[in-house]
Structure 1
């Protein structure tokens, strides 16, 4: 019988074992099984962690829940032995039928699709990763009544959280960010306030929008790549064309770092954002799928 244990906080050794499991799955499948939120959650108590143990005591599978949504991964050498099914059952038991259960599958792989369908899940959300070269960027000037400056940690936190929550009011993850989410990312080695661009009103420094960029370091045979990490415009202080202008400003910043390409993530259903990014030259690179099972 597969043993699954749940906990609100992982020990450092358990977190390291999860990262090693995820790395083994990435090597076997060619896709990272845990998102940034999943990795950051290994260090805190915001997620409910589920650990499936093999007969030899090794970590065979891992899942977490954040609310009703999460991710799941089974070590390649322990697949087809019931660990994934046991983790899903344990996650459902934690919710107790209170709301539907959602899990992300990265890469839109046939094996993940078959597993989800067999377990009674249906495809409910699609997230695209889009990419473009950083050469030949379009010329999109900022509105005349806007200036751009770098984010100042400790000074701009509250204003940014307010604009972020309004810009992503209907987004199931981004719009819920609080101060703790910011602090987690400030502590990450990739965080660079110079690449966290704020669009402000020159008259009073009122925050109008932002483009938070990120640089992913070179890994394996893959070169370093930039990212439009979070891009938002305050719907209450909208300046026409600010989203496109901020996009290009951030891409130029990334190009100035010596990077050759940039990526972003966007919901397939966000037609306005997809249209903007296509106009800026981005094309679909890969697909993640969220599967949902009703309670």
Structure 2
């Protein structure tokens, strides 16, 4: 496991990642990273398991572990793609003992895998890291990733001080009524959300459905549609991504169609899902929002959400 790589005598080789054998190791690294960078645990074992078995990912081909000098893994990376997100993502996990050079080696592997998947021309590779992940950020700069696009991680406590959702004439929020609502949910998502976040794009229903059903923590019973006079104009994708680590519901995606904004519908939808999550025993709610989305941030803060930390989306172009 620690034989030197060709041309780099003394440096441990990258090890193909086997989800059956290495999920616990990657989860340990992620927990240690979270504690060091965020001061709390966020990543769950279920999240790591889901990401390493996501549709289209062959972990033995697309993921690597990096052992340290003593043979104990210090980092991992895997190349992934998701419905509605252009390009590929290098999901980089560096434990607290990893160096910037370790991160650069793992990123180099992800870039090579990305390059191998290009039919021709060029593609975009991104990597999402928190402001506290110093070694990862240094590695990204070393590998030539451009100016990062910032996001806020925000949270709110779900307690008996929650205000009630406003009454908007003709508007109702409801849970999904089985699979017949999936197409409506997807269509509203594309209308309300795709253009709001950097790097997001519309996607096809079948591709999205496969991704959504396997997204770690997904729970259709917690998702909601916002309707006005019987027409869907908003949606909320609420998951249990952070239930085991923080007792929190996670807002994977939420949005209101552009033509229906500035009518109090965003407050209605958000407060409705906050109350629904509290009724399920969640003690908090967490989300990640583009710092350029000022109207959304103003809404969240008005309803008691607070900024916890900043994450940055680093990107670079990869050419075949």
Q: TM-score, normalised by structure 2?
A: 0.74
1:92 has 2:111 as partner: yes
Q: CA 1:165 to 1:271, structure 2 compared with 1: closer, same or farther past 3 Å?
A: same
Structure 2 match to 1:148 = 173
1:21-32 matches, cutoff 5 A: 21-29=29-37, 30=39
Alignment of 1:43-122 (within 5 A): 43-47=53-57, 49-54=62-67, 59-65=73-79, 66=81, 67-77=87-97, 79-80=98-99, 82-96=101-115, 98-122=122-146
**Contact persistence 1:31–1:106 (CA under 8 A):** no
Q: Which residue of 1 aligns with 2:275?
A: 252
Compared CA separation, residues 114 and 182, structure 1 to 2 (3 A):
closer
Distance in 1 (alpha carbons) for counterparts of 2:157 and 2:298: 18
| Alpha-carbon distance in structure 2 between the residues aligned to 1:25 and 1:282 | 24
The answer to whether 1:12 aligns with 2:32 is no
Are 1:61 and 1:74, in contact at CA under 8 Å, matched by a contact in 2?
yes
Q: How many residues align?
A: 284
Match for 1:158 among 183, 200, 204? 183
Contact 2:101/2:139, CA 8 A, preserved across alignment: no
Maintained 8 Å contact 1:140/1:244? yes
1:58-111, CA deviations, whole angstroms, 9 ceiling, x for partnerless residues? 54431122333222123445x239432221212222233823432111244444
Return the alpha-carbon distance in structure 2 between the equivalents of residues 80 and 22 of structure 1.
15
Displacement of 1:118 = 3.2
- CA distance in 1 between counterparts of 2:155 and 2:143 reads 33
Q: In the alignment, is residue 180 of structure 1 matched against residue 190 of structure 2?
A: no
Distance 1:277 1:168, change over 3 A: same
Q: Is the 8 A contact 2:267 2:299 kept in 1?
A: yes
The alpha-carbon deviation at position 139 of structure 1 amounts to 4.4
Structure 2 equivalent of residue 209 of structure 1: 234
Rounded Cα–Cα distance in structure 1 between residues aligned with 2:107 and 2:261: 43
The SS at the match of 1:103 is: strand
Alignment correspondent of 1:265: 288
Structure 2 residue 225 is matched with structure 1 residue 198: yes
Relative to structure 1, the CA distance from residue 252 to residue 217 in structure 2 (aligned partners, 3 Å threshold; closer, same or farther) is same
Determine if contact 2:128/2:312 at 8 Å carries over to the other structure. Answer: yes
CA 1:91–1:240 in structure 2 vs 1: closer, same or farther (change >3 Å)? same
Partners in 2 of 1:162 and 1:26 — Cα distance?
35
* Alignment gaps of 5+ in structure 1: none
Q: Deviation per CA, 1:173-218: give whole Å up to 9, x if none.
A: 4754701122114x84x6261x32222245xx43221233345435
Which whole-Å CA distance do the structure 2 matches of 1:259 and 1:56 have between them?
Answer: 41
Name whichever of 140-149 and 27-36 sits farther off: 27-36
Question: Which runs of 5 or more residues in structure 2 are unaligned?
Answer: 6-11, 82-86, 116-120
- Alignment RMSD (CA, Å): 3.3
Query: How far apart are the structure 1 equivalents of 2:237 and 2:124?
Result: 32
Are the aligned partners of 1:31 and 1:107 in contact in 2 as well (CA < 8 Å)? no
The 8 Å contact of residues 208 and 238 in structure 1, kept in 2 or not, is answered as no
TM-score normalised by length of structure 1 = 0.79
